[in-house]
Amino acid sequence: MKAYQRYFEQIQTKLKTVFGQTEKIEQAAKWIADCLSNDGFIYTSGTGHSHIFAEEIFYRAGGFARVVAILDDALMLHKDASHSTEVERMEGYGARLLEGFPLSEKDVFIISSNSGRNTVSIEMAMIAKESGARLIVITNLKHTQSIDSRHPSGKKLYEIADVFFDNGGEIGDAAVTIEGFEFKVGATSTVIGTVILQSIMVQATENLIQMGLKPEVFSSSNSDEGEEHNEALIKKYKGIVKGL
C-alpha cells in the first residue's frame, strides 16, 4: 500500500477504538444534556494542537451556543509555537487562566491532551473537579501510560477525569512509517478526537429533544436563515460567553 492508504488504514483502526467506547459516549452525552437543561455551560480547553478541539465545538454550525472555549494565546500556536511548549508546563498558569471563568457544579469541562502529562492541563482539570463540574478528558492512553506526569502530584489527566476517552493513538501520535525515513508521519489524534467530540454532542442533542427541550444550536452563518438565527444567539450570549 502507498503511504496515504496506510494512513487511511490507521484511521479506520483507531475509529474502532472510538466505537468500542459507546457507554462512555452515552454517559458524557447525558452529562452534557443535564448541564444544558440546568442552564450550565460546557467549558473546553486544550494546549498546543489540542486547542483545536476547543475550537471544534465553539461557535460552530450544528454546535451548542452555551460553549465556553478557553483559548489562551500563549498556549496556542499562532504567535510563538515553541514557547507554547514551555508555557504548558508552568505551575500556576492554569489556575490564573481559570480565574475569569466561574465554573460550578452545573457545568461540564472537556479538556483534551494527547500526552495528558503537562502541568497546565492537569491543573485546570483539578480546579474543574474542585468546582463540582463534570470532567471529560480525551487523551492517548498508549502514549500517556508510557511517560511520567510533569505535574507535582504525579497524576496524569486521565487519572483525574470523571470519564476519559482513548483516541487509540500511537506513542508520539504520528502513525505512518515511510521506508528510508527515520520518523513516523501522519498524526491521528485530531481526526479521532473530533469524532469523539462530535459523537458526544450529537447524542446530547438527541437527549435534549427527548427531554422535551429545544437546544440552542448555531446554524451556518453562510446561509440566509442561519445568519438571522445566529444573531439572536449572539445577542443573548455576547458578554456572557468570552470570545463570542
Q: Give 185-234 pLDDT, tens digit per residue.
A: 999 999 999 999 999 999 999 999 999 999 999 999 888 788 889 999 99
Residue at 186 is within a domain: yes
Q: Which domain, by its residues, includes 164?
A: 3-217
Residue at 165 is within a domain: yes
Residue at 193 is within a domain: yes
What letter does residue 71 receive in the DSSP assignment? -
Residue at 231 is within a domain: no
The C-alpha cell that represents 72 in the structure block: 489562551
Residue 48: the pLDDT is: 83
**Domain count of the chain?**
1
Give the CATH number for residue 71.
Answer: 3.40.50.10490
Residue 79: the pLDDT is: 72
Task: Work out the pLDDT band at 51, boundaries 50, 70, 90.
Answer: confident
Q: Give 94-139 pLDDT, tens digit per residue.
A: 888 889 899 999 999 999 999 999 888 999 999 999 999 999 999 9
Residue 184: the pLDDT is: 96
Q: Given the C-alpha cell 508520539, which residue does it identify?
A: 172
Instruction: Find how far residue 188's CA is from the centre of its chain.
Output: 15
pTM here is 0.94
Residue 73: the pLDDT is: 72
Tell me whether strands 134-139 and 174-176 are parallel, antiparallel or unpaired. unpaired
Cβ atoms 33, 211 nearer than 8 A: yes
Which of 206, 192, 159, 197 is closest to 25 using CA atoms?
A: 197
Residue at 230 is within a domain: no
Residue type, 35: C
Task: Work out the pLDDT band at 176, boundaries 50, 70, 90.
Answer: very high
Residue at 223 is within a domain: no
